[in-house]
Structure 1
Amino acid sequence: MTSLPVSPADALDSLLAGNRRFVAGAPRHPNQDAARRAELAPAQKPFAVLLGCSDSRLAAEIIFDQGLGDLFVVRTAGHVLGPEVLGSIEYGTSVLDCRLVVVLGHDSCGAVAAARAAVEGGLPAGGYVRDVVERVTPSVLAARAAGLTSDSDHIDAHIQHTVDLLLDRSRVLADQVAAGHTGVVGLAYQLSEGNARLVTSHGIPDTAETTALSA
């Protein structure tokens, strides 16, 4: 197998370096050839779990310039959590030994917009979409209680809430973070610019790179 990041910080650096290449229009498209496909056939060993929104504009391997076998991706509308999602993330860190978990949100998120509409105008969603909206609503209420009004503030609040909920509900992941084995970060992706901005971090040493990203 090809060399992998050996720490949560290395894993984050690898993702952010790939995102910079994507933003600059100079992706390397690594690990996307026939040799990589053959290499992975017996087993996979991704270096990061990525819980992202299902939005079609948020393809993780593309925006982070990664390839086959690099990321263990879980996607739901509004990156909402349920038992299947939690189990998938724990599988990624416990069985596949991923060193990083990323919660990836983005601007112009339809799930956040629907939750804001439901809170502000009492406009309920139908079918199972209502379940998605209800899971995003606590983030919207928290943002409103803090006096936040902008789209980016609501997106950040929802990313923060998802990370907090993930660590609260998954004792397995919380213990891995406490032991220094795994890091958890929240990133906000900007659709027009293509860059991922750091919102929150657990289990990652404060480096100049991550500090600059959060500024």
Structure 2
Amino acid sequence: AGHVAGAEVLGSIEFGVSVLDAPLVVVLGHDSCGAVAAACSALENGRTPGGFVRDVVERVTPSVLAARAAGRETADEILAEHIEHTVDLLLERSRVLAERVADGRLGMVGLSYRLADGSAQLVAARGLDSAVLTA
């Protein structure tokens, strides 16, 4: 979920929404997420990894800090915070997405996927009718 801040990824999402007229964007995070674990580890030991892993950790760290500030400490709670943060970040960075959500033409949801049993839990919903999205 946290790797969607790049311009090329945003461009792909905007293409799907504005050109293909997709009515729903799903941000799907999963448990046992290495990016979340790496960010937590970097915060705990004070060492930021090198290479491109640093980019991943830097994108996830704000979500970890926000979760902890809200008293959300477990891996599942931190993941949910990160998924929700990613949904909101997409809306902040993309005028196309924000306008379509405001116009009622687009829904965005964040789901947390459990690898063990294949279930997904809704953790964030923006736009359209939330009743439709959560049904």
Which category of TM-score, normalised to the shorter sequence, fits these structures? over 0.9
Instruction: Judge conservation of contact 1:80–1:136 (CA < 8 Å) in 2.
Output: no
* Cα distance between partner residues in 1 of 2:133 and 2:106: 19
Alignment gaps of 5+ in structure 2: none
Is 1:164 the counterpart of 2:88? The answer is: yes
The match for 2:78 is 154
Q: Letter of the aligned partner of 2:85 in structure 1?
A: H
The match for 2:134 is 210
Report the alpha carbon displacement of residue 193 of structure 1 after superposing the two structures with TM: 1.3
* Cα distance between partner residues in 2 of 1:121 and 1:155: 20
The match for 1:94 is 18
Instruction: Judge conservation of contact 1:92–1:98 (CA < 8 Å) in 2.
Output: yes
* Cα distance between partner residues in 2 of 1:84 and 1:112: 22
Instruction: Judge conservation of contact 2:3–2:56 (CA < 8 Å) in 1.
Output: no
* Cα distance between partner residues in 2 of 1:189 and 1:159: 11
SS at 1:200's partner residue?
A: strand
Q: Which has the higher helix share?
A: 2
SS at 1:138's partner residue?
A: helix
* Cα distance between partner residues in 1 of 2:46 and 2:70: 20
- Larger relative contact order, structure 1 or 2 (CA cutoff 8 Å, min sep 6): 2
Report the alpha carbon displacement of residue 209 of structure 1 after superposing the two structures with TM: 7.6
The match for 1:178 is 102
SS at 2:130's partner residue?
A: coil
Taking structure 2 as the reference length, the TM-score comes to: 0.94
- What do residues 70-118 of structure 1 show as CA deviations (whole Å, max 9, x unaligned)? xxxxxxxx43311111111101101111110000001110000000101
Alignment gaps of 5+ in structure 1: 1-52, 54-77
Is 1:115 the counterpart of 2:78? The answer is: no
How many residues were matched structurally? 135
